[in-house]
A and B are shown apart, each in its own frame.
Chain A
Amino acid sequence: AQTVTQSQPEMSVQEAETVTLSCTYDTSESDYYLFWYKQPPSRQMILVIRQEAYKQQNATENRFSVNFQKAAKSFSLKISDSQLGDAAMYFCAYSPLGSGATNKLIFGTGTLLAVQP
C-alpha cells in the first residue's frame, strides 16, 4: 500500500526567508503523481504544485519549487521569499496514474507552517 510521510508537524519561517518542507512516500509503482496542497484557515484545499514522476525536472511555480528524488522517494517543497499569506497547513499527496477508483489521492499528515513578520 502507498503511504505518504511528513515528519515535520510544525515549521516556522521569517518573512522573506526560505523554508523547506519534507515529504517521503512509499510505492512500488514507477509512474505516479505527487502534489503539495495548501490548506489555509478557510480550509479550502489549494493546489500548490504538481510533479509527474516520469519527469526528472523538478517542478516550479513562482516562489514554490520541489526537490524530487525518485530513487529516495523524497519530495520536498521549498518556499522562497516567504510571505505572511503562506501561513497554512501543507499536505504532501500521492496519486497513482490511471482513472477511476484506483486513482485516489493519498495525503500525508501535514505540516503547519507559521510565517513570522
Chain B
Amino acid sequence: GAVVSQHPSWVICKSGTSVKIECRSLDFQATTMFWYRQFPKQSLMLMATSNEGSKATYEQGVEKDKFLINHASLTLSTLTVTSAHPEDSSFYICSARPAGVEEKLFFGSGTQLSVL
C-alpha cells in the first residue's frame, strides 16, 4: 500500500523557536495534502489543505502566519510552526491523496510537538 512518511515523529523545542515538520508520499504523487492537529483524547481537527504549487487553504481560526505550509513538490509538504508557544504543543498528522484518486487518503504516523 501507499506510504506517507512524516518526520520527525516527536520534537521538543523552546518557546519562541520554529519547528518544521515534513510529510512525504514515498510511492505516489500527491496533488493534495492535509494537515491535522489532535489534542489528547480528541478528534483530528483539519488545519489546512495544501495543493502542489499553490497557496494553502486554511481552516477558520487557524493562523496562516503561525502555521506555514509549503507544498513545493508532488511528494513533499511541510508545516512550520513559527515562534512556538506551549499552547502549540499537540500531535500533528499529515495525510496525502494520490493524484486522480479522490476516495483514498493515506496518513503519516504523526508528530508529537512539545513546546517548553
Contacts and interface: CB of A to CB of B under 8 A. Distances in A.
Interface string A78-117: 0000000000000100010111110111111110100000
Interface of B is mostly: strand
A108 B46 CA distance: 12
B103 A52 contact: yes
Contacts of B107: 44-45
Contacts of B45: 107
B69 to A, nearest CB: 12
Contacts, number: 56
A101 B34 CA distance: 9
Interface in B32-50: 32, 34, 38, 41-46, 49
B73 interface: no
Nearest to B93: A45
A101 B32 contact: yes
21 contacts: A33-B103, A42-B109, A43-B93, A44-B107, A45-B44, A45-B107, A47-B105, A91-B43, A95-B105, A97-B102, A99-B97, A99-B102, A100-B31, A101-B49, A101-B51, A101-B57, A103-B102, A104-B49, A105-B105, A109-B43, A112-B41
